[in-house]
A and B are shown apart, each in its own frame.
Chain A
Amino acid sequence: MTPEELEQIAEEERAAQGEVPHHINVCVAAGCVSCQSSSVKEAIDKEIVNRGWEQKCKSKGVGCMGLCAEGPLVSTETGTLYQHVVPADAGEILDSLEASPVDRLICRTDVPFFQRQKKIVLENSGIVDPERVEEYVGASGYGALINVLTEMAPSEVVQEVVKSGLRGRGGAGYPTGLKWSTVAKAAGQQKYVICNADEGDPGAFMDRSVLESDPHRVLEGMLIAAFAVGASEGYIYVRAEYPLAIKRLRTAIRQAERIGLLGSNICGTRFSFRIDLRLGAGAFVCGEETALIASVEGRRGTPRPRPPYPAQEGLFGCPTLINNVETYANIAPIIRNGGEWYSQIGTEKSKGTKVFALAGSVLNTGLVEVPMGITLREIVFDIGGGIPGGRAFKAVQTGGPSGGCLPSQFLDMPVDYESLAKAGSIMGSGGMIVMDESSCMVDVAKYFMDFCMTESCGKCVPCRVGTYQMNELLARITGCSATTQEIILLEELCDLLRNTSLCGLGQSAPNPVVSTLRYFADEYKAHVEQKICPAGVCGHEGKEAS
């Protein structure tokens, strides 16, 4: 593969697209697939054949369009978006191509949900077919890689990432450029690049969506990273619970190998790189980098003390670069447009955009990408459309089991790493769950503690025993049988787990409890002193909502 050959593929693809005047895109990411979007696509294809419109109209499956709750989503080349499409609508949609759009199905795109977003990571989502490398190349894909291989030195690539100010999107926000330069400087013949796609946070589906919608983007990011740090082998550690993402990644790797962008002597240079998949097996702790490495090595996913950090001693004892899916997905645009360009987006310390999975008690649930520094109010009320059913906003939960619940007083706070941490939560991988007055915050805290208890790997005592004890205390509180003394005990345990656990799971497990104790102390008080649950959730276990 030479730059000229790549350009030729891109041109041929654009020409082929141009031959047909009408294009219909059907979302084939997991959200819409579970609403039978594949039968919608089949119906449209059949209708095209029946009408003999093969030269006139083409349909294709594309990645996530964002508004997952309104699927299946279908769009046309004019930018018209249709929601809740069923196979029987195929004829009407085809009729509309040369007439006016089908009003009955239209989904307005002039609303804040679409207008307020800024798409960098998701720029190809909903536009390119994730199962065809030609489409990705046609959308300037792999151009950044070619540029890096033919015109840049590894140190220049690292410099560009440093300049961009990109920070790890897995949750902790460690500067990506710094991590790359540490691995690049580490001594060793053999180095590895790992992509952490073990998205274990309940309520988060950003990585799944990126992998399903634009898998080549992640491969390109990994390739550039491998060139920059001097690695020749890479692994993508992906959850076994994401079969569609796994299938598309396998296809993407095969295609990249076929056109010579993965393998030996890529683009005629001395750079060689191959990528293999490793499937996770349902352990939340494997999101922690040392536990993830243990799992890739075929062992139980238990973390180990750091240092040494994986950048020095990682997979099979070699220097290893581990980044999250979204981090890698940011790399190609940074190289294409320059680190400077990226650093102009966002806030002083948090650059670029962040993808959030907006869910819970909010009107527009789905995937959104917003610039850092946007306020929570804009995300929940403008983009999210507010709380359905006329109920009042209570809290927004960010960061999953490691994060916290933020009450309404933080709605005007900018969303960036520092502000969220100051408020007692974390950026996390990007799950954002909105809760209304019908949720009991003590019950939510117990839900997360139960999660951490089940997912604790059992290696260190504070986490193994502490999460169990905290869960017991929370069960007594939600059961309205706790005493005030037990709340003090709960606070002490929070402190203990934070300071003495071995890895991030145990250290951050108290966060949901600490944040709810801080902002919703009256709810705890009501459970303990008045023996009631203000939201009417607790003490009704097993009661059915009918």
Chain B
Amino acid sequence: MITDFSKPTPPSLDKRWRLVDATMRRLGHHSHGLIEALHTVQETFGFLDEGALRYVAISLRVPFSRAFGVATFYQFFTLKPAGEHTCVVCMGTACYIKGAPQLLSAMQRDLEIKPGETTADGRVSLLTARCLGSCGLAPAVVYDHEVAGKVSPTDLRDRVKKWTRHDS
């Protein structure tokens, strides 16, 4: 058993690691704070990379495999940085029967990427959501954290075109 425990060094000198430290401290550096700590990392840096996972794992004294297991088990966590803009198509039941599959396939064709991927120029990430809970507005799409309801393929294309145009 390891009894000697010194504070690990953050992966970089970035001051934002203090936010992550604060979350872990608030939960007493207990292993049950793992998911909360990963939430803070993702909120702060946008994604979880290996360095971040290792740092959190060492700080909370859990094996790296457990941190990696949790990070890949939950759909909300992402190991890759997102594009400059994100377009989330809701695939909840109400949206599905009101035409979300058509929205998604239009985007897949236009952007030439699959859901979960980012365009090669790093401009747009295409994502899907299980359900946004905005079923009254089906089909719903989230453009950069802003929910839009009753979206048609044309609306969606026009909006995303603005992002992909290289002069914007």
Contact = CB atoms under 8 A, between A and B. Distances in A.
Note whether A and B form a binding pair. Answer: yes
Interface of A: 30-31, 33-35, 67-69, 71, 199-205, 208-209, 240-242, 278-284, 295-301, 316, 357, 359-361, 365-367, 397, 400, 431, 433, 435, 439, 444, 447-448, 451, 457, 541-546
A362 B33 CA distance: 43
Contacts, number: 152
A360 B69 contact: no
Counting chain B residues whose Cβ lies within 8 A of the other chain, the interface size class is 35 or more
13 contacts: A31-B136, A69-B136, A200-B131, A203-B94, A241-B133, A279-B39, A298-B30, A299-B70, A359-B94, A360-B138, A365-B136, A431-B93, A435-B97
B102 interface: yes
Nearest to A34: B147
Contact of A201 (B106, B129, B131, B132): B131
Contact of A204 (B36, B133, B154): B133
A544 B153 contact: yes
B8 to A, nearest CB: 18
Given A202-B91, A298-B35, A34 B148 contact: yes
Max chain B Cβ within 10 angstroms of own Cβ: one of A67, A280, A300: A300
B130 interface: yes
B32 interface: yes
Nearest to B145: A243
| Dominant SS among interface residues on chain A | loop
B83 interface: no
B96 interface: yes
B31 interface: yes
A431 B130 CA distance: 14
B94 A433 contact: yes
- Interface pairs A-B: 7 shortest CB-CB: A68-B136, A281-B74, A205-B133, A203-B93, A34-B147, A359-B135, A282-B76
B75 interface: yes
A279 B137 contact: no
Interface in B21-65: 30-36, 38-39
B98 interface: yes
A33 B149 CA distance: 11
B5 interface: no
Interface string B125-152: 0000111111111101000001111000
Given A68-B135, A204-B133, A298-B34, 13 more contacts: A30-B147, A31-B134, A34-B137, A34-B147, A35-B149, A282-B77, A298-B32, A433-B94, A433-B97, A447-B93, A541-B105, A543-B102, A544-B102
A71 B134 CA distance: 12
Nearest to A440: B97
Contacts of B30: 298
A301 B69 CA distance: 10
B16 interface: no
Contact of A360 (B35, B97, B153): B97
B66 to A, nearest CB: 7
A542 B105 contact: yes
Max chain A Cβ within 10 angstroms of own Cβ: one of B75, B109, B153: B75
B35 A283 contact: no
Interface in B87-113: 91-94, 96-99, 101-102, 105-106, 109
Contacts of B76: 240-241, 280-282
A457 B93 CA distance: 21
A439 B97 contact: yes
B115 to A, nearest CB: 12
A441 to B, nearest CB: 11
B66 A30 contact: no
B106 to A, nearest CB: 6
Nearest to B99: A545
Contact of B130 (A282, A297, A301): A282
Contacts of B137: 31, 34-35, 68-69
Given A279-B36, A282-B130, A298-B34, A357 B74 contact: no
A77 B34 CA distance: 47
B102 A34 contact: no
A284 B131 CA distance: 11
Nearest to A433: B93
Contact of A241 (B70, B102, B129): B129
A204 B69 contact: no
Contacts of B34: 298-299
Given A240-B39, A300-B70, A281 B134 contact: no
Contact of A282 (B31, B66, B75, B99): B75
Given A279-B39, A447-B96, A204 B131 contact: yes
Nearest to B37: A298
Contact of B33 (A31, A33, A298, A366): A298
Given A281-B74, A300-B69, A360 B94 contact: yes
Contact of B153 (A203, A209, A447, A545): A545
B57 to A, nearest CB: 11
A72 B74 CA distance: 33
A328 B102 CA distance: 39
